[in-house]
Amino acid sequence: MPKIKSYTPAWLLPPTPGHDLFAPDPSDTQNGSPYTFKSFSKSVPRRTLARRGTEVFIAVGKEIRWADLVYLKERWEEKQAKARSGSRVKREDSVSPSDDELLRESIESGCAEGFRTITTSVGSEILQLAISPYANFIAVVTTHTIRILLLPDSSHLTAPSLDAIKPKSWTLGPTTHVMDRSPIASAIWHPLGVNGSALVTVTKDAVVRVWELSQKDRWSFDQPSLTIDLQKLADGTSLDQNFAASPDVTNKGFSPDSFEMEVAAACFAGRGSGGWSPMTLWIAMREGDVYALCPLLPEVWAPPPTLIPSLSISIVGNLAAIEDDPNVSELTKLLAQQQLEWMSDLDKQEPRVVEGPPGEPPTEVYTRPTKPGVVPRLQGPFDLELSPESEDDLDTELTDIFAIGQKLDTDELMMGEDEELEMEDVEGEGLSLSIICLLSSSGQLRVCLDMDGVQAQWLPPRNRSKAMGRLAGSPSLLTFQSMDILTSLEVTEDAWPMFSPDVTSRYSFFITHPSSITHISLSPWVFRLESELQGDSHAGSEFRIDLLVKGQSSTRERLYTNTAQPDSQLPLAASVAIRDPDLGYFLLSATPFDPIAVLFDTPDDEFALMRSASPTYEKDAEVKPMDFYEPRPVYQPSHDFDENSSLPLLLDRLRTGRHKTITNQEVRLSPLTLQIFTEAHKILSDETLRLGSAASEVFRRCVQLQVELKQQINKASEVKARVEAVTGEDHDEAREPESNNAFIERRLQNAKERGEALSQRMEKMRKTVSKATSRELSDKEKAWVNEVSVLDTNMFGSSIPVDGPSKLKQTRKRYEEIMRLRDELVEEAEKLGATGSEGGEENLSASTTDLRIPSELRRAKINQVKGLIERETALVDAVKARLERLSTVG
């Protein structure tokens, strides 16, 4: 989502020339007084802003203001720089200077103002402006008429002259789009027109006309190359019927078709879309129905290089898949054969190469195929599946439609080719389905998916129309998401919200309503849905769909909110997004009196290649203010303070009317006097009410300003305290100031001391923890403890040895054998000692002689036995001591 950096900049606020672009002309009056709120209707689409690069065109009344925003911004910055440097600058009064003063100032300063006025020959207020794709024409649309202007060159903006420009212009359909015919609902440039010169107009009585404009052929502005009456086409049965609009201009009576097929808006998808999207006209009816015309083409058209090959592959593949399938209906096979016939007619043509506008490559031009027919079938009304059912009829009154075509599938197109297709990144990214967005007057947005995909369809021939009949069922759109843009208090019946495309992504757009401007982005779910459709995920379908439904949906952010009451809100023009290195990311809208702009924050590296490498720029770029404030729109006082009273106009009418004698007489009670006083009371009551509301708004704003100022001061204090805490400047002011070097050395010393203290505390805690807690034994230690326990049990425990290793069992046997031998030897030694003591040495020697055992051998054996006994005793003592230590440790 874009982050708001600031609102309307200073170079668009009064009394700058940038503000004069949007201010109404004081000389243009209605009923003797300047524009008032009652003179503006909100129940019509107002697309009075258009752009060509950084140049903007603003329709004000019956004229068009033309300016370069970059030039206006730089001129204002130059004036501010001169004012700061102390140079002599002419003081600007509150009243706008005259043209002579501006011209004199421009000549003296050596530069132009950067804006001009374009006069048009229109009879009523301009409601819509539409610039052609290559910015050479602009369509000026009123309620019933259209004027085509040849746009002048940008060099006129830098000329010192301020005279109004009257470029070459033509009236479109001087006998078609007139006041006694149906009003114009939409005027859109066809994306496949040759050099952007094909215009499609849709009137409210559901008549579509295709105009192919050429400066060399004036007749191209008088008669359309194709006319289709959708009411006739909806009831059509064969290709041979005439679906052109009736030339009869008499008023028609009421009919259900005229009521249900009142057009609200129409649109095309982008030129870089894939499939049939660039030649599909989507039409939204006021009562909620949606229709599609495909293919709708001018007689001469210029497709992108990839469009015809991709359509050819799709048509041939579809026909081969259903040709031998017995389950496919005959009508579906007929439609596939008609598509093949249409493509065959196109393949037989030799394209003609036409030079494009300056800076554009040459384009290949084709002629519209005449087979199977020129007029396509009217597809619809589409069934909106899963659409929320509302009890309020206001939700079904559509005001605008916005189509996002499917992405261009290059994998199938370039299959088997070694070369890579050169194309823009946005054309190959996104969703392989078309997205249709519908907007109602209540602010309800519906995002629908074209799951089946709209393809070219024609009516059957006359000889097969009765046998084929109509298509079974009706086409459908899957309602993926529905959201409310407005609150219940902001909904008004006469409002007309509108879509505006974004310049950063084709899956994001703006919605302009008299009460607000909202940004919508579909990117959070578009790319995830595409990965699910392509089968990139290996998880189960139910799990993936559940994640997609419960996951992140479309993002919605309110950018601007009109704080005025709903009944006193001025209509807003459809927003225009601009992205330029000098302006940044810029959104512009306007009321009939003032501009409304929103500046978004852009990444620092977005225009890194266009930055200057000079040391001066780098030095200035490093110093940036800290954005800790909350951006707020600039408050503009109500225009009721600047409007003149209508009471003098009433007095003038009385002085010049048939009752002029009463103005110079005394006031007498009479019906005429009562009527005059009643009219004066109505005027005064209305004016005083509006002035009182405006004054109360000023008072409320002053109170709110105090609250906002307190909040700003508190935030500034918090930021100051944080900065001082980080930099270390929050020391006591009573102390004597110290130098920076001493301050830094003191901080380093304190940090070093704190680090050493922390290290000592950590070491002390580590020793305490190691003593207080016992770590778990390893596997080897556990095995050794088990071995010692088994040894202890086998040697000092029960007589039955515990199961253990064979070595422990052998030790037990050896120990028992040694103990048995020890007992025997001790017993034998005691017997020998007793015998020696009784018989003396003689008996001992006699017995010894009798046994015939040498004394040396006997003595050696005794010493050997004593040594074994001492060794076994030492071994037993050592094992016992070791077991005691283990029990203590455990």
pLDDT in tens, 415-456: 545 455 555 444 557 888 999 999 999 889 999 999 888 999
- C-alpha to C-alpha distance for 496 and 286, rounded to whole angstroms: 11
The fraction of the chain above a pLDDT of 70, given in percent, is 77
When pLDDT is averaged across residues 525-536 and rounded to a whole number, the result is 78
- pLDDT greater at residue 102 or residue 291: 291
The amino acid sitting at 735 is: R
Cα angle 881, 886, 890 (rounded to 5 degrees) comes to 150
Q: Name the band, by pLDDT with cuts 50, 70 and 90, for residue 667.
A: confident
Whether pLDDT at 268 is above 80: yes
Residues 6 or more apart whose CB falls under 8 angstroms from that of 153 comprise none
Closest C-alpha to 582, from 76, 107, 3, 135: 76
Task: Reduce the DSSP state of residue 122 to 3 states and report it.
Answer: coil
- In the prediction, which pLDDT does 574 show? 93
625 burial (CB, 10 Å; 0-12 / 13-18 / 19+) is exposed
Q: Is the pLDDT of residue 760 over 80?
A: yes
Confidence class of residue 400 from pLDDT cuts 50, 70 and 90?
very high
How far is C-alpha 441 from the chain's CA centre? 22
* Percent over 90 (pLDDT), the chain: 25
Return the closest-CA partner of residue 129 out of 116, 142, 120, 119.
142
- For residue 31, pLDDT beyond 70: no
| 728 pLDDT above the threshold of 70 | no
Q: Please state the φ and ψ torsions of residue 235, each to the nearest 5 degrees.
A: -100, 5
Residue 422: its pLDDT value, please? 52
Say what the pLDDT of residue 628 is: 62
The Cα 64–Cα 184 span in angstroms is: 20
Question: In this model, does residue 585 exceed pLDDT 50?
Answer: yes
Residue 266 has pLDDT above 90, yes or no: yes
Which of 525-534, 609-618, 767-776 shows the lowest per-residue confidence on average (mean pLDDT)? 609-618
What is the model's pTM?
Answer: 0.74
In this predicted structure, what is the pLDDT of residue 791? 76
Among the listed ranges 66-75, 546-555, 634-643, which one has the minimum average pLDDT value? 546-555
Burial degree of 476 (CB within 10 A; 0-12, 13-18, 19+): middle
pLDDT of res. 130: 94
Beta bridge partners of 584: 580
Average pLDDT estimate for 585-602: 90
Q: What is the pLDDT of residues 820-846, one digit of tens each?
A: 888 888 888 888 877 655 555 554 454
pLDDT at 393: 45
What's the whole-number mean pLDDT along residues 510-519?
A: 92
Rounded Cα distance, 520 and 512, in Å = 11
**Inter-residue contact 127 to 183 (CB < 8 Å):** no
The average confidence (pLDDT) of the chain is 80
Q: Inform me whether the pLDDT recorded for 740 exceeds 50.
A: yes
Query: How large is the angle between the packed helices 806-851 and 779-796, nearest 10 degrees?
Result: 40
Q: What is the pLDDT of residues 495-514, one digit of tens each?
A: 899 999 999 889 999 999 98
- Contact between 27 and 61 under an 8 Å Cβ cutoff? The reply is no
* Token pair in block for residue 469: 């009949």
At residue 621 the predicted structure's pLDDT band, cuts being 50, 70 and 90, is: very low
* Average pLDDT estimate for 231-245: 86
pLDDT score of 171 more than 90: yes
Tell me phi and psi for residue 359, to 5 degrees: 90, -5
- Using the predicted structure, report yes or no on whether residue 250 has a pLDDT greater than 50: no
HEC assignment per residue over 738-798: CCHHHHHHHHHHHHHHHHHHHHHHHHHHHHHHHHHCCCCCCHHHHHHHHHHHHHHHHHHCC
Weakest mean pLDDT among 29-43, 464-478, 611-625, 682-696: 611-625
pLDDT of residue 612: 42
Residue 847 pLDDT > 50, yes or no?
A: no
Residue 802, pLDDT > 60, answer no
Sign of the torsion formed by the C-alpha atoms of 533, 539, 541 and 546: negative
Least confident of 65-74, 154-163, 371-380, 703-712: 154-163
Res 546: pLDDT: 61
pLDDT (mean) for 316-340:
84
- For 522-647, strand residue ranges (E) read 555-561, 576-580, 584-590, 595-601
DSSP state of 218: G
* pLDDT for the residue numbered 225: 92
